[in-house]
Amino acid sequence: MSDRVAVIGAGVIGLSTALELAAKGRDVTVLADADSLESTSAVAGAVWFPYAAERSAAVDAMLATTLERFRRIVADHPEAGVDLRTGVIVERSPEPDRSWTAWVDATAVDASELEAIELPAGATGLRTTVPLATMSLYLPWLRERCAGLGVRFERRAVDDVDALARAFDVAVVAAGVRSGSLLGDDASVVPIRGQVVRVENPGVTEFVIDDDDPAGLTYVLPRRDCLVLGGTHEVGATSLEPAPAIEAGILERCARLVPAVAGAPIVSRAVGLRPGRERLRIEEVPGRALRSIAAYGHGGSGMTLSWGTAERVAALLE
The distance from CA 171 to its chain's CA centroid, rounded to whole angstroms, is 22
111 or 224: whose CB is closer to ligand FAD? 224
What minimum distance in Å lies between the beta carbon of 1 and ligand FAD?
Answer: 25
Of 113 and 160, the one with the shorter C-beta distance to ligand FAD is 160
Is 27 or 211 the residue whose CB approaches ligand FAD more closely? 211
Kindly tell me the sign of the dihedral angle through the C-alpha atoms of 239, 242, 243, 245.
positive
Report the residue number, 111 or 211, with the smaller CB distance to ligand FAD: 211
Q: Which is nearer to ligand FAD, 113 or 215 (CB)?
A: 215
Instruction: Report yes or no: 167 and 6 within 8 Å, Cβ to Cβ.
Output: yes
Q: How far is the CB of 112 from ligand FAD (least distance, A)?
A: 28
The answer for residues whose C-beta is within 8 angstroms of residue 38's C-beta and 6 or more apart is none
By beta-carbon proximity to ligand FAD, the closer residue of 26 and 277 is 277
CB atoms within 10 A of CB 256: 16
Please state the closest distance from residue 130 (CB atom) to ligand FAD, in A: 10
- Cα distance between residue 28 and residue 20, in whole Å: 10
Q: What is the largest CA-CA distance in the chain?
A: 64
Tell me how far, at minimum, the Cβ of 236 lies from ligand FAD, in Å: 14
Closest contact distance (angstroms) between CB of 2 and ligand FAD is 23
Residue closer to ligand FAD, measured from CB, 174 or 220: 174
Give the shortest CB-103-to-ligand FAD separation in angstroms.
15
CB 237 → ligand FAD: shortest distance, Å? 11
> Under the rule (CB under 6 A), what is the footprint of ligand FAD?
8-14, 31-34, 39-41, 43-47, 157-158, 174-178, 182, 194, 196, 230-231, 272, 274-275, 296, 298-304
CB of 121 to ligand FAD, least distance (A): 26
Q: Which is nearer to ligand FAD, 299 or 308 (CB)?
A: 299
Cβ contacts of residue 56 below 8 Å, gap of 6+?
Answer: 279
